[in-house]
Amino acid sequence: MTLDLAKVEATLLEAAEAAATRTLPLFRTPLAIDNKYTVGFDPVTEADRGAETAIRAVIARHFPDHAIIGEEWGSSGESPYTWIIDPVDGTRAFISGAPVWGTLIGFAHDGVAIAGIMSQPFIGETFLAVPGRATYRHGDITTPIRSSGQTELAPSRVFTTTPALFDTPELASKWHSVESATRLQRFGMDCYGYALLAAGHADLVIEPRLNTYDIAALVPIIREAGGAIACWDGSEPTAGGNVIAAATPELLEKALALVNAS
């Protein structure tokens, strides 16, 4: 099968725009919030469900034979090509009015994400990757992005959504090792932190227990910008797991050694 990458890119952009028509009218408005958990809190809103429905419709129109995995509506189809959707990554940020949530759409071939988009429509920013390039779009301006090139832990800027994710003694030890070895730590960034890493504004992102829809879209954005990303055991992160993203392969190797020694 010959893959039309220009069509993949156009579909990513169209699907993100369709999602924005469902998320933006609801952002910073009173919303009914459902909880997926009986114990704990995992919020979902009309924006999540509506955006995923809109994305799926775009994909089905252009690539009806491809598989889809979505956070809200599950899996459909069988194909070597899979679209992986998180319609609102950072729902907690969304319901709090903080514009660090994003729409994530990844495109994978044989289990490895090769293209993806992170769209933050309230700010009007889009981070997109297809094989051979990663770009940042804002308004009418499109520019290439590159990671910082950082290779050392000590001066690194680190993001994680919250240290509370590291909620066992083993996980807490790994976070404290990273925190102690690096210069600056920032929290609450959700998918936006990975995009900022790809654009050169951060050097490491570390998070445990990610699902495929949390990370698949971000994998090619980081790699095509010159960064590196893997699970803590060094394996492919497209399917999710405990993940580290780094500005360079050299920095990733040092971060992996650090967490695996903790």
H helices within the chain, ranges in order?
A: 5-23, 46-62, 91-95, 169-181, 191-198, 212-215, 218-224, 249-261
Per-residue model confidence (pLDDT) at position 1: 56
Percent of the residues in the chain that have a pLDDT greater than 90, as a whole number: 90
Q: Judge whether residue 41 has pLDDT over 90.
A: no
Average pLDDT over residues 111-116: 98
pLDDT at 100 over 90: yes
Place of tokens 């890119």: 9
Q: What is the per-residue pLDDT for 42? A: 56
Q: How many CB atoms are closer than 10 A to CB 134?
A: 24
Q: How confident is the model at residue 44 (pLDDT cuts 50, 70, 90)?
A: confident
Q: Centre a 10 Å sphere on the Cβ of residue 43 and count the other Cβ atoms it contains.
A: 16
- Both tokens of 114, joined, read 């090769």
Q: Would you state the pLDDT for residue 39? A: 47
φ, ψ (nearest 5 deg) of residue 251 = -70, -40
> Structure pTM?
0.94
pLDDT of res. 43:
66
The residues, any chain, with a CB within 8 Å of residue 163's CB and separated by 6 or more, are: 172, 175, 179, 187
205 neighbors 216 (Cβ within 8 angstroms): no
CA distances for 109 relative to 82, 135, 158, 183, 241, angstroms: 7, 21, 30, 37, 18
Strand pairing category for 228-231 and 133-138: unpaired
Measured between alpha carbons, how far is 150 from 158 in angstroms, rounded to an integer?
Answer: 12
Distance CA 35, CA 92 (A): 11
- Is the predicted pLDDT of residue 189 greater than 80, yes or no? yes
pLDDT of residue 36: 57
Mean predicted lDDT score pLDDT of the chain: 95
